[in-house]
Amino acid sequence: MEDIPKEVLIDCAQLVKDNSIQGCKMNNINVVYTPWSNLKKTGDMDVGQIGFHRQKEVKIVAVEKKINEVVNRLEKTKQELHPDLAAEKENRDREERNEKKAQIQEQKKKEKDEIRKKKDIEDLRNYTSLMKSDNMTTNEDGNDSDDFM
């Protein structure tokens, strides 16, 4: 909140004053702003009444009178959007599910690769690939290699 430029604060305060039922008729008003997490609303409060958790986070901007040039400039750039919030939420949820599925598939693939690599290393250490009957020969067929003399 400390990084907000002074011009932006003045523009916002002018809009608040212009859109206020009582504030637009008065001069020298204070516009209060604070982070939303600092707002405190209990059930016994009247409609439109709020409180604050931490008074240190409350900032006040003084507005002496309405500046029509600022309000008109901002009203010209006003855009009212009517988004389909249910569809946007469904799209976001679908994207999150797809990302989660992709992560799970990637993790399963990595686990399979690790298991395969561990099995290959274990087979190499156990000499199981060498001790197959296809790789073994016998000297009982008459090819005695000791007869070299």
Domain ranges across the chain: 6-41+49-76, 83-130
User: pTM score, two decimals?
Assistant: 0.52
Alpha carbons 84 and 95: distance in angstroms, whole number: 17
The helix (H) or strand (E) run that includes residue 76 is: helix 68-76
Distance CA 149, CA 61 (A): 112
Query: Could you identify the residue written with the tokens 């008065």?
Result: 26
Say which amino acid occupies 67. Answer: I
Residue pLDDT tens, the chain, 149 long: 778 898 999 999 999 999 888 888 888 999 999 999 999 998 898 888 889 999 999 999 998 888 889 999 999 998 999 999 999 999 999 999 999 999 999 999 999 999 999 998 888 788 766 777 776 776 666 655 555 55
pLDDT at 24 (0 to 100)? 82
